[in-house]
A and B are shown apart, each in its own frame.
Chain A
Amino acid sequence: MRKVKEFFIEKLILICGLASIFFVILIFLFLAKEGLAVFKSVTPSNFLLGKSWYPISEPARLGILPLICGSLLVTLGAAIISVPIGVACAVYIAEIAPLKIKEILKAGIELLAAIPSVVLGFIGMVTLVPWVKSIFHLPTGLTALSGSIILAFMAMPTIVSIAEDALYSVPKSYKEGAFALGATHWQTIYRVLLPAASSGIVAAVMLGIGRVIGETMAVMMITGNAAVIPQNILVPVRTLTATIAAEMGEAVTGSEHYFALFAIGIVLFIMSFIINVTADLFLHKRR
C-alpha cells in the first residue's frame, strides 16, 4: 500500500520536475500563436526594420525599428553607467570591505534589487526627470538619459551580486601566490583576480543588461512616449516593453495591432533567451 502511494508521489514529482520546460515551451507557443499572425499584414523585414510605428492609423504602419532603437539606446546608456560602477562595487565588497560592512552592503544591495520597478519609476518621475529637464534646458525631462540612469540602478544589484560571487570563487591560492611575489593588493586585483573571474563578470553584466532590456514600468514612466528613432540621448523614446504595456489596453483582441504587440513579445522573448543562455554558458565556463 505504501509502495503504491509512493509510486504516485514519485510520478507527481517527475511531472513537476518537467514543469519548467513545459512552461517555457508553453510561453513560446502562445506568443507565437498570437504574434506570428501579424506577418499576414507585414513582412518580417518590414516589421523589424520599418521606421514608422503607427499601429492605429489606416493602413497601419508596423515597423518596430524606432522601438528597437529606443530599447537599445536606453540599455546602452544604462550599461555604460552600471557596468563600471557595478563591477567596481563588486570588487570593493569582495576584496576590500571589512567583514561586518560587507554583510551590511550585501544586504543593502539585495534590498535595492527588491525595490519594485514601479516605485523606482515613480521616484525617477518626481526627482530625476525635473532635474534632467532643468540641467540640460530641455522641453521635457522624459528622456532616454533619465531612463538610462534609473535602469542603471536596476541593473547594478544583479551585476554586483553575480560579479561578487565570481570574485569570491577565485581560488585563494591565486591571491596568495601574487602576494608572495610582492604585489600590492590592488595589483593582485586587477592583474590576477579580475582576469580569473572574467567569465563570471561577463555573465553578471549580461544578466544585468538582460534585466534592463526587459524592464517595463520604470521606462514607461520616465522615457516619454515618442515612438521615433532617437537622435541623441536627451529626447523621449519608446522601448519595446513600454509599447506593449502602454498599447495593449487599447488593442482589440484579435486585431492587427494585438498581433503586432505579441510579435514584439516574441522579439523580447528571443532576445532574453539568447542573453540568458549565453550568460549561463559563461557562468559554467569556469568548470
Chain B
Amino acid sequence: MRNTQRSQKIAFFFLLLATLLIVIPVGLIVVIIIQKGLPAINWQFLSDIPRQGMRTGGIFPAIIGTFYLVLGSIVFALPIGLLAAIYLSEYAKDSPLNRVIKLAIVNLSGVPSVVYGLFGLALFVVFLKFGASILSGSLTLGIMILPIIITTSREALESVPQSFREVSLSLGASKWQTIRHIVLPNAVPGILTGTILGLGRAAGETAPILFTVAAFYLPQLPKSIFDQAMALPYHLYVISTQVPNVDEKVRYGTALVLLSLVLFMNLVAIVIRYNFRKKKKW
C-alpha cells in the first residue's frame, strides 16, 4: 500500500511540474514585455507616426490600421456568423446538413492563417480587383474569424432552454418572432463573448494581412477602404526583422501595445462569460 501512495505522490509532482512548465514561461513572457516595453510607452509613442525609418517616433498609424481592420472584419463576420448560428441552432438542428456545415466550420477554423492570406490575395486583391486595401484585409480576416463567431453564437443560442421556445410558439408566435424576442436576447452575452474573442484574434493575426493590406510604411493615415494600411502585428514583425538598429524598447513597446490590446479583449470576453454563467436567470 505504501508503494502506491508513493507512486501517486511522485506522479502528482510531475503533473504539477508540467503545469508549471507551461504557466511560468507564459508569466515570464508577459513580465518581460511589460518590463522592457513600458519605458517606451508615452503619449508621443501612441500618437505619433514612425520616424527615421521607424527607429523612433510612434506607432499611431499601425494602431489606427489595426482598429479599422478589426472593425471591418466584425462588420462582415458578425451578421453572417450570427445568422448562420441561428440557422444551425433553430432551423437545421436535426438535419444531416447540420453535420456537413459543422464539418465545414471545423475545416475553416483549421486552415493555416497564411493560406487565408493566399486566398485573400487571389480573391479580393487580384480577382475582384480590390487591390491591397483595408477592404481586402477586412474581408479576409472576416472569413477567418467566421468559425469562432458561428460556434460561440450557436452554443449561446442552444443554451436557451427549449421550454421557452415551446411556450412562445404555443401562444401563437411565429418561429422568427420566437427567435427575435425570446431566444436572441437571452443569448446576447454568449454572442458578445464570441464576438470579442473574434475581434482579439483578428487584431493579432499577421499572415492574412501580409499580402492583402499591410503596408511597410505609410506616413499618412488611410482615407478610404481602398487604401492600404499599417497594422500592429505587421509593424512588430517589420521592426523586429527588417529594420536594423531599432531601439530595443521601441520593439518591446510595440509588442506591449499589441499584447495588451489582445489580452484585454480576451479578458473582457472571459469576464462577460463568467458573469453570464453566474447570473443566469433560469
Are any A and B Cβ atoms less than 8 Å apart in their complex? yes
Q: Which residues of A contact B (CB under 8 A)?
A: 2, 6, 9-10, 12-14, 16-21, 23-24, 26-27, 30-31, 33-34, 84-86, 88-89, 91-93, 96-97, 105, 107-112, 114-123, 125-127, 153, 156, 160, 184-187, 189-190, 207, 210-211, 213-217, 220-221, 241, 244-245, 248-249, 253, 261-262, 265, 268-269, 272-273, 275-277, 279-280
Q: List 19 A-B contacts (CB under 8 A).
A: A20-B104, A23-B108, A86-B22, A107-B270, A108-B23, A108-B26, A111-B267, A114-B204, A114-B262, A115-B262, A118-B204, A119-B236, A216-B207, A244-B115, A244-B118, A245-B207, A269-B112, A272-B111, A276-B109
Residues of B near A111 (CB, < 8 A) are 26, 263, 266-267
CB interface residues, B 93-113, toward A, < 8 Å: 97, 100-101, 103-113
Chain A contacts of B79 at CB under 8 A? 16
In the complex, what distance in Å separates the CA atom of A23 from the CA atom of B18?
39
Scoring A27, A207, A262, A273 by chain B CB atoms within 10 A of each residue's CB, the highest score goes to A27
4 additional A-B residue pairs with CB within 8 Å, beyond A115-B262, A253-B126, A262-B118: A6-B174, A33-B122, A91-B15, A123-B33
Question: Residue B83 at the A interface, CB < 8 A?
Answer: yes
Q: Are B236 and A215 in contact (CB under 8 A)?
A: no
Docked-complex contact B22 and A160, CB < 8 angstroms: yes
> Which B residues from 74 to 130 make CB contacts under 8 A with A?
79-81, 83-84, 86-88, 91-92, 97, 100-101, 103-119, 121-123, 126-127
Contact of A221 among B108, B241, B266, B270 (CB under 8 A): B241
Output the least CB separation between B252 and chain A (Å).
8
In the complex, the chain B residue whose C-beta lies closest to that of A217 is: B206
CA–CA, A125 and B83, complex, Å: 42
Least distance between A207 CB and chain B CB atoms (Å): 7
Count contacts on B: residues with CB < 8 A to the other chain.
88
| Minimum CB distance partner of B111 in chain A | A272
Q: How many pairs, one residue from A and one from B, have CB atoms within 8 Å of each other in the complex?
A: 261
Chain A min CB distance to B198 (Å): 11
Q: Please, which residues of chain B bring their CB within 8 A of the CB of A23?
A: 104, 108, 143, 146
* Chain A min CB distance to B239 (Å): 9
A213 to B92, CA, bound (A): 33
- A220 contacts which chain B residues (CB < 8 A)? 237, 241
B21 interface hit (Cβ, 8 Å) = yes
| Nearest Cβ on chain A to B267's Cβ, whole angstroms | 7
Is B164 close to A, CB under 8 A? no
In the complex, which residues of chain B have a beta carbon less than 8 angstroms from the beta carbon of A123? Answer: 29, 32-33, 255
Contact A30-B119, Cβ < 8 Å, known A92-B19, A184-B8, A221-B240: yes
Asked if B176 and A17 make an inter-chain contact with CB atoms under 8 angstroms apart, the answer reads no
Complex Cα distance A261/B122, Å? 12
Taking CB atoms, residues of chain B closer than 8 Å to A114 are: 200-201, 204, 262-263, 266
Interface residue B210 (Cβ < 8 Å from any Cβ of A)? yes
Q: Is the CB of B122 within 8 A of A31?
A: yes
Do residues B119 and A116 form an inter-chain contact, with CB atoms below 8 A? no
Cα of A44 to Cα of B75 in the assembled complex, Å? 40
